[in-house]
Structure 1
Amino acid sequence: MAGGLATAAIAAPVAAQTVPFHGAHQAGITTPMQDQLYFASFDLVATKREDVVALLKSWTDASARLTAGQPVQAGDSGEADGLPPSGLTLTFGFGPELFVQNGQDRYGLAAKRPAALVDLPRYPGDQLVPGISGGALCVQACANDAQVAFHAVRQLARLGYGAVQLKWVQSGFATARQSPGTPRNLMGFKDGTMNPAGAAMDKAVWVTQPGWMQGGSYMVARRIRIALEHWDRMQVAFQEKTFGREKASGAPLGGRHEFDTPDFNATDANGDYVIPETAHARLAAAANNDGAQILRRSYSYNDGANFTAERWPPWHQGIEYDAGLFFQAYQQDPRTGFMPIFDKLSKMDALNQFTTHVSSAVFACPPGVRPGGYIGRELFEAA
C-alpha cells in the first residue's frame, strides 16, 4: 500500500501538468517528450480561403482550452471529462497540398510556399502505401494519457467538419517519462542520443530567416515498419554492430557511456572499424554529414499483427507484427537536415535489412500563436 501511495503521489503532478498553448514557438517540438502520441493528417475540402482561416481560428480557440484541460465548449464528445490535461501539446503543420493541389492554387497561397517545404524524393527501399502519406494540414497531439491525446484530435476533426477530412492517422507510445534518460525503440536501443541540445538545438530546429515561417520549424514524418521477428533472431553483438552502439548503455562501440563522443577512426585487432562503416550511428552522425543535425521526436507504434499466407518461403507464413517507429524529425530546413542524412542512410545503413518506410510526409510548422492570434496568421495575413 505504501508503494502504491508513493507512486500516486509522484504521478499526480505529472498528470496535472499543463503546457501553455501560446508562445513564440509551438509546443510539442522542443517540449520534453510525453508518453503518448496521436498524429493526424488532413485533406482540405474547403473551397474558400476565408473558410480555411475560420477553421484555423476555431482550432486555435479549441486548442487553448484542450491544453488547459478544459472541454471544447459546444458538442464535446466527453470521453476526457474528469481527466487532467496530462501535459497535452497540439502542434500544427501545413503540407504542400495547402499551397498547390493537383496543379491548382486553391487559396492564393502558391507564391508563399517556402522553398524549404520540399517534396521528398522516393528513397531506395521505400514501399509507400497509397493513402498514408502527405496531407494539407497535420495535427500532432502528445500527452501522458492516450485518451487525452486522442480526444483532442477527435474534437479538432469534429470542429473541422465541412472544411477538412481525415486522410491518415498514427498513434504511438514512448518510454520518455516512465524511465530516465533517452527513450528506447522497439528494437531495444536508445533513440535520440545524438539529438542537439541547448543553443545547438535552437540553431538546428528554429527558422531564423525573415518571413511567415520565422520562429517555426519543418517536420519530416516517416512511418517505419520494423521486421521484429527477423530482428529478434539476431545475436546482441550483431545488433550492436548494426547500430554502432551498446544495447544496454547506449554507449558508442569502444566507449563507456551513452554520450561519449564516438571514435569513428578506432579499429580492432583485425584492422576493422570498431564502429562499422554501415553502422547507423556512423552514417547519421553530424560529424559525418557536414554538421547536419535534426531533432528526433519519434514514437514507437504497434498496430497489431498481419497474417501472411505466401506459400514460399515457409517462414513468410503466419503472423507478423505491424509495428515499428513513427519517425518524426524537426529542423530549420529539410534540405540541409533530414535529406542529406537520410540519403546516405537509405543507401548504406545496415538497419535497412530490418526496416521498411511505408509512409512519408513533410510539413511546415508555423511559429507559435500569440494571444489574440491564430495558427498560421503570419501566412494568411502577410502582405
Structure 2
Amino acid sequence: MSAHRSTPPPRVEAFGRLPDGSEVQRWTLSDGSGVTASVLTFGAILQSLDVPDRQGQFAGVVLGLPRLEDYLGSHPYLGATVGRYANRIAGGSFTLDGKQYALPLSDPAGPNTLHGGQNGFDKRLWQARPLSAGPGAAVELSRTSPDGEEGFPGTLHAVVRYTLYRAELRIDYQATTDAPTVVGMTNHSYFNLAGEGSPSVLDHRLQIAADRYLPVDRHLIPEDRPRPVAATPFDFTAADTLGARIGSGDEQLGPACGYDHCWILDGGRAADCRTVARLTHPGSGRGLSIATTEPGLQVYTANGFDGTLTGLGGRPYLRHSAVALETQPLPDSPNRPDFPTVVLRPGLPYRSTTVYRFFADQPTVSSLAVC
C-alpha cells in the first residue's frame, strides 16, 4: 500500500429520501492514502470500498447499488447490516425461557426467518454521528428496535461503528436490551477483489481456519451434526480457488447451487479478534484477511444472482460474481442448545468485532487487528 497521510474527517452528503420523507445520508471515510469506504444510514449499508491493486490502481471491491431507490427494492442484502439475528432461524420460531416466539417467514429457501425477518435492520433508518477518538476515520450508527419488532422480544438498542485506518475496515457491534432476547448481527458485503461487476470470483483463492462445517438440509438449515471438511469440497484449510470443487457434484452443493454454508471457526467465539480467513485474487494482487470474535463464517457464492441488478460500475451482477464472507453466530442457534448461546439479557452488553484488512500481494498488520 502507498504511504499514509493524515486521516481526513468523515464526509457526509444527502443520498435521497425514503417514501415517508426521511433523509438518507451517505458517510464517506478515507484513510488518507486513497482507500475509501461509503456507508449509508439506510440499513447501515456499506455501499462501496475502494482499495488498490499491486500496481496501485484503485477499484471498488464490494458490490453496491447507485441509487437509494435500488436499495428500496428487492436485493440480496448488498452490504447491509443484518439483524436482529443474522442467517436462518428454522420454522420462524424459537423458545426462550419457556416462551415461544413467532417470527415472519422471510426465506426463499424454505419456511425460515432469514436475516431478521421481512423488515430487519437492513431495511431500517439508522442515526449517524462522526467519531474523532482514536486513530482512523469513524462513523457510528445507532437505532432502537422496539419490543416485538419482527417478533423478537425486548427493546434493543443497537450500535454499529465503522472505522477505516491504514487499509483496514473495522466494524464494531454493540447492543443492550431491557428483556431477554437473541442477537447476532453481521455485515453482508459481497466481495470481488478483481473489482465489483467483474464476472466471476471462482478464480479467487480462499483459506479458512476451520476443520468443520455445518451441512444443511434442503431448506439450508443445519443438520444434526457438524462434519469434518477433510476430503470434501469444503476443505479450505489450505488456500484453494472457489471454483476448484464448486461443480463437483457433492450433494451438499446441490441445494444451494454453490456454497451457502457456515464453517465452525477454530477457537469458537473469542474475546479478541483472531484471523480466520484470507481471500486473494492472483490477477490483481489484491488480498483480504478477516479477523473476528465470532464463532462462524458463512460463505455464500452469490448463487442466486441472475444479472437483474446493476452495480455502481454499470455492470450486471451475475451468478458467482462475488462472495459474501459473513462473520456471525452459527445458523439457527436460538433452536440449538449445542451451539454457542446467542441469548442477550439485561445488564450484559452484546459485543462483536470484525476487521477486514486489505493488502497487495503481501499481507500487512496494523494495530486495529487487535480488538
For this structure pair, what is the TM-score category when the shorter chain's length is used for normalisation? under 0.3
Larger radius of gyration: 1
Q: Choose between structure 1 and 2 for higher RCO, CA contacts under 8 A separated by at least 6 residues.
A: 1
TM-score by length of 2: 0.26
Higher strand proportion: 2
- Structure with greater helix share of residues: 1
